[in-house]
Amino acid sequence: MSLIAWIVSFALTSLFWKWVLSWGGAEWLEGWKAFFVIDLFAGFWSAKQIKLYGLICWIGSGIWFVVGLIWPAMRFHW
């Protein structure tokens, strides 16, 4: 994956998680919509649980983004 594609991919992922955490996305996703968008078990989660999952995923993808910047071969494992 090229550097530009790597950065755009992370930016889009970050925008999604920012929406979930700060802009009311967790409340909108709560219920059956979370089942399709986030995870099979997310359909049973509250908005707070969806936000926690989003925060953990955002931190993890941020770490992986930095690893991919430093070591380009790791970009294909995302």
Rg over alpha carbons for the chain, rounded to the nearest Å, is 14
Cα 63 to its chain centre, rounded Å, is: 12
pLDDT digits (tens, 9 = 90+) for 34-66: 999 898 899 899 999 999 999 999 999 999 999
Helix (H, G, I), strand (E, B) or coil at 58: helix
CA distance 18 to 67: 21
For 15, other C-beta atoms within 10 Å of its C-beta total: 11
Quick one: pLDDT at residue 39? 87
pLDDT of residue 24 exceeding 80, the answer is: yes
Q: What is the DSSP letter of 45?
A: -
